A and B are shown apart, each in its own frame.
Chain A
Amino acid sequence: MKPLCLLGRILLVIGCCLVLPAGAHDAMPPLDIGQGGKCVDDPGFMRLNHMKLLLQQRDETVRLGVRGGRYSLAGCVDCHASKVNHSVLGTDRNFCQGCHTYAAVKIDCFECHSSHPRPAMESRR
């Protein structure tokens, strides 16, 4: 390996990178967040931890009988079901499916639970 040749190549690449346009395009994937409003926790925190919170809530509800906790799947769906198809699933713009399809992460929730808001919530909208 000739060191000069390697150095030249690295400099060329650095040069190329410097002249590249440094813009940023935003909001990908575009999401239909439904009614939205104030979340039960910080959105950034929810983005990273919603699955853990929901699993913990499930365990507390099923094993300890604790109802009415802060984090509930039905609560998520109530606020975030699309106003178009009344669901958090269905298209790649819907609240759950949007990111889950984008990142190829499977959603187990809705094989048992409803992806539509509860009737009481629906009538309030």
Chain B
Amino acid sequence: MAFLFYLAFCVLVGGLAWRMVTYARTPAPLKIPTTPAPTTVPGVVFRMAREVLLFESLFKANLWIWGFGILFHFGLVLVLARHLRYFTDPVWGWVVLIQPFGIYGGMVMVAGLAGLWVRRLAVERIRYISTPSDHLMLLLLLTIGISGLSMTFGSHPDVVGVKRFFEGWQTFSPHPLPDSALLVLHLMGVAVLMIIFPFSKLLHAPGVFFSPSRNQVDNPRERRHMAGWAARFDKETPHG
């Protein structure tokens, strides 16, 4: 299991870095911010923050997806924060404080995922355009969420043992994982998620920052927009 997590970690970090380099290098030859767009850089930062934190464009597009999406993502933030207790020693003060909220976050997250899946299955035209990967991704996230909640409310694993396992993992001195089928299911799910992350639709997380229609300033008259390759071409062949 420790080995699987080394592998998953490397695939996640390496894969994401590779994807982001690709995104950053992709030319954006046109000035195409979706209007109305901010005309200053701080304005764009503010717009991007609204997009990333509140899913503004999704709110305007579809309230149902936005609602379930917000539930899932905000729940996930709390859940991830709660899980920091396994990776820090001593546990940070604010992580200790938000422990109970992490549990609520878990419930909210699973509710959001269930809502998103019901929508995919119940709305006929959404079902028609759903691919197996759409369904499997929700299934994977739900498996992780439900197995996690089952350990909180049903069969507790040895959390001290779990933390020792991950401390050993961080210092390259592996510890055995406590016996618990739910724990193994949970961790396998997380490892699979980490491995497929750089090759899946989950790339919307880094991708949103590279979206030209959102990250461009609306100033085409003040400053001429040139892609790098086009600028070079401009210099090499002077116009008559």
Q: A residues within 8 Å of B by Cβ? A: 1, 9-10, 13-14, 16-17, 20-25, 28-29, 47-49, 92, 99, 101-106
> A47 vs B107: C-alpha distance in the bound complex, in angstroms?
26
Establish whether residues B173 and A25, one from each chain, have CB atoms under 8 Å apart when the complex forms: yes
CB of B200, distance to nearest CB on chain A (Å): 12
Residue among A17, A23, A92 making CB contact with B173, cutoff 8 Å:
A23
Using known A-B contacts A23-B173, A103-B163, A104-B96, determine if residue A13 contacts B89 with beta carbons closer than 8 Å: no
Given contacts A13-B11, A17-B6, A105 and B159 within 8 Å (CB-CB): yes
Interface footprint category on B: 20 to 34
- In the complex, whether B99 has a CB less than 8 A from a CB of chain A is yes
The complex places the Cα of A29 from the Cα of B85 at a distance, in Å, of 14
Residue on A with the closest CB to B19? A1
| B172 pairs with A47, CB closer than 8 A | no
A–B Cβ pairs within 8 angstroms, 28 of them = A9-B11, A10-B11, A13-B11, A14-B7, A16-B6, A16-B10, A17-B6, A20-B172, A21-B173, A22-B174, A24-B173, A24-B174, A28-B167, A29-B160, A48-B156, A48-B158, A49-B156, A92-B90, A99-B160, A102-B160, A103-B85, A103-B159, A104-B85, A104-B91, A104-B96, A104-B99, A105-B99, A105-B159
A47 touches B14 (CB 8 A): no
Per the bound structure, the CA–CA distance linking A9 and B96 in Å amounts to: 37
With both chains docked as a complex, state the minimum distance between the C-beta of B206 and any C-beta of chain A, in angstroms.
Answer: 16
In the complex, the answer to whether B173 meets A13 with C-beta atoms within 8 Å is no
Find chain B residues with CB under 8 A from A1 CB: 199
Closest to A14 in B: B7
Instruction: Compute how far the CA of A7 lies from the CA of B95 in the bound complex, rounded to whole angstroms.
Output: 38
B27 partner residues in chain A, CB cutoff 8 A: none
Q: Is the interface of B mostly helix, strand, loop or mixed?
A: helix
The residue in chain A whose Cβ has the minimal distance to the Cβ of B100 is A106
B154-175 vs A, CB cutoff 8 Å, 1 = contact: the mask equals 0011111001100110001111
Interface residue B3 (Cβ < 8 Å from any Cβ of A): yes
Chain B residue contacts of A106, Cβ below 8 A:
99
Which A residue's beta carbon lies closest to that of B4? A17
Checking A13, A22, A25, A47 against B160 with a beta-carbon cut-off of 8 angstroms, the contacting residue is: A47
Q: Are A24 and B175 in contact (CB under 8 A)?
A: yes
Chain A residues within an 8 Å CB radius of B85: 103-104
Instruction: State how many angstroms separate the Cβ of A8 from the closest Cβ of chain B.
Output: 11
Chain B nearest CB from A90 CB (Å) reads 16
Known: A10-B7, A14-B7. A101 touches B91 (CB 8 A): yes
Residues of B close to A104: CB separation below 8 A? 85, 91, 95-96, 99
Contacts of B158 in A (CB 8 A): 47-48
In B171-195, which residues have CB < 8 Å from any A CB? Answer: 172-176
Q: Are A13 and B95 in contact (CB under 8 A)?
A: no
Mark each residue of chain B from 54 to 98: 1 if its CB lies under 8 Å from any CB of chain A, else 0. Answer: 000000000000000000000000000000010001110001100
A101 to B175, CA, bound (A): 20
Instruction: Return chain B residues, CB-CB under 8 Å to A24.
Output: 168, 173-176
